[in-house]
């Protein structure tokens, strides 16, 4: 139990190191504290949702479908926040 929780906690933190390091080597990456917080929440929610599906859904085809839907939803929200593919008020640009 604790191992899964620690993986779900530290994996998003490790992924957030990528833009943090990129900000030091490139002028093209400009993330604020809010950007890191929002991405951290998105990663945590996606990871916890996936973990819940793996734990509760026994049928492999249903499990795979739910995980793909979680991944697609994550990518759509990420793309909308980053570049505004739908033109909502949440768009990054």
Which stretches of the chain drop beneath a pLDDT of 50?
Answer: none
Residue 6 has a pLDDT of: 74
Global confidence as pTM: 0.82
Structure tokens at 86: 């739908």
The burial of 84, by beta-carbon neighbours within 10 Å (0-12 exposed, 13-18 middle, 19 or more buried), is given as middle
How high is the pLDDT of residue 13? 84
Task: Give the integer Cα–Cα distance in Å for 51 and 5.
Answer: 10
Element (H, E) at 32: none
Q: What does the pLDDT read at residue 32? A: 92
For the chain, what are the domain ranges?
Answer: 2-25+32-83
Report pLDDT for 34. 92
pLDDT, residue 83, reads 82
């Amino acid at each position: 139990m604790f191992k899964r929780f620690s993986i779900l906690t530290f994996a998003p933190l490790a992924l957030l190191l990528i833009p943090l390091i990129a900000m030091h080597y490139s002028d093209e990456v400009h993330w604020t504290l809010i950007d890191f917080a929002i991405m951290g929440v998105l990663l945590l929610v996606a990871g916890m949702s996936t973990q819940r599906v793996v734990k509760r859904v026994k049928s492999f085809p249903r499990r795979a479908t739910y995980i793909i839907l979680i991944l697609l939803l994550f990518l759509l929200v990420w793309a909308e926040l980053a570049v505004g593919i739908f033109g909502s008020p949440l768009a990054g640009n």
